[in-house]
């Protein structure tokens, strides 16, 4: 059922229903937001405004990793990945992991070092160009990437509408959904010498009934951001918030509103 609904949501979003509502149903909750039920707009504001996206950029990084496939391949951590700043789990240069496990750390813990290791494995200096090429293929006209992990960078931005479309594409990936729904996980080096335990940065997971993803983020320029997916009784609700004032409290009420809407 989930894959079927995801396909419906994707088709609807790409066809163009990521639209602004007639009136702002949730004033002042975020600089921009979009709320949809099975791809149909419930409420929206400033959906084409270009804003920093923080770690929501990792959704595109994860999508490219998943589309590359072979998640059991071995990745050696690059020196650049080991030097990553911000949120990290502390992996070291030369340590070896399965791609699947690094992806788990990037999605669940929003670990910049794991994210960079994945990006360097796929394209190193050319990975950002891969991100922008995929964004163009998806029709994300208000999105440009300059960093695979979501650090504040000049010229990096997205919009609520584009992130809704990207979210709909990510929903098609069962492994992304599996990982984003996990409250916590443990990552171990292939030689078994070190392990890393981490928790989900998405506070809705395990707390909001039906929450199954997708990604949270924060940087000084972007503020608190969220792409939230929840499912109840075969109904999917997707919420995008950029520069939210109180994302967890607001997300509860907005998701409830969408589930309460009549089909």
How far apart (Å, rounded) are the C-alpha atoms in residues 263 and 261?
6
Give the residue among 177, 161, 186, 257 at the shortest CA–CA distance from 215.
177
Give the residue among 3, 13, 54 at the shortest CA–CA distance from 167.
13
Contact 93, 112 (CB under 8 A): no
Contact 49, 160 (CB under 8 A): yes
How far apart (Å, rounded) are the C-alpha atoms in residues 21 and 185?
38
How far apart (Å, rounded) are the C-alpha atoms in residues 93 and 96?
9
How many Å from the N-terminal Cα to the C-terminal Cα in the chain?
17
Structure tokens at 96: 């070896």
CATH number for 2-260 (one of 3.40.710.10, 3.40.50.720, 3.40.640.10, 3.40.50.300): it is: 3.40.710.10
pLDDT of residue 9: 44
Q: Which residues contact 221 (CB under 8 A, 6 or more apart)?
A: 52, 152
Contact 89, 114 (CB under 8 A): yes
Q: What is the tens place of the pLDDT at every residue in 79-114?
A: 999 999 999 999 999 999 999 999 999 999 999 999
pLDDT of residue 25: 84
Q: 112 to each of 17, 100, 116, how far by Cα in Å?
A: 33, 15, 6
Instruction: At 75, give phi and psi (nearest 5°).
Output: -125, 130
Q: Which residues contact 209 (CB under 8 A, 6 or more apart)?
A: 230, 232
Burial 120-143 (b: 16+ CB within 10 A, else e): bbbbeeebbebbbebbeebebebb
pLDDT of residue 232: 95
Q: Which residues contact 51 (CB under 8 A, 6 or more apart)?
A: 31, 32, 157, 158, 159, 222, 242, 243
pLDDT of residue 24: 74
Residues of the chain with pLDDT under 70: 1-23, 124
């Amino acid at each position: 059922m989930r894959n079927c609904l995801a396909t419906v949501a994707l088709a609807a979003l790409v066809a163009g229903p990521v639209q602004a509502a007639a009136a702002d149903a949730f004033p002042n909750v975020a600089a921009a937001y979009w709320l949809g039920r099975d791809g149909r707009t419930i409420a929206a504001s400033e959906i084409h405004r270009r804003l920093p996206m923080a770690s929501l950029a990792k959704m595109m990084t994860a999508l490219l990793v998943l589309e590359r496939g072979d998640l059991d391949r071995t990745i050696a951590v690059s020196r650049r990945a080991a030097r990553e700043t911000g949120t990290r789990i502390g992996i070291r240069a030369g340590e070896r992991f399965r791609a699947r496990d690094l992806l788990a750390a990037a999605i669940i813990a929003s670990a910049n070092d794991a994210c960079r290791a994945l990006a360097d494995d796929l394209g190193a200096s050319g990975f950002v160009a891969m991100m922008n090429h995929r964004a163009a293929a998806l029709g994300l006209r208000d999105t440009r990437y300059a960093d695979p992990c979501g650090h504040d960078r000049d010229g990096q931005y997205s919009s609520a509408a584009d992130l809704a479309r990207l979210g709909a594409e990510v929903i098609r990936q069962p492994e992304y959904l599996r990982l984003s729904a996990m409250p916590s996980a443990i990552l171990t080096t292939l030689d078994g010498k070190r392990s890393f335990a981490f928790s989900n940065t998405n506070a809705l997971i395990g707390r909001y009934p039906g929450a199954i993803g997708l990604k949270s983020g924060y940087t000084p320029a972007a503020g608190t951001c969220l792409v939230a997916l929840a499912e109840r009784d075969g109904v999917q609700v997707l919420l995008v918030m950029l520069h939210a004032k109180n994302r967890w409290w607001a997300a509860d009420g907005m998701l409830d509103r969408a589930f309460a809407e009549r089909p």
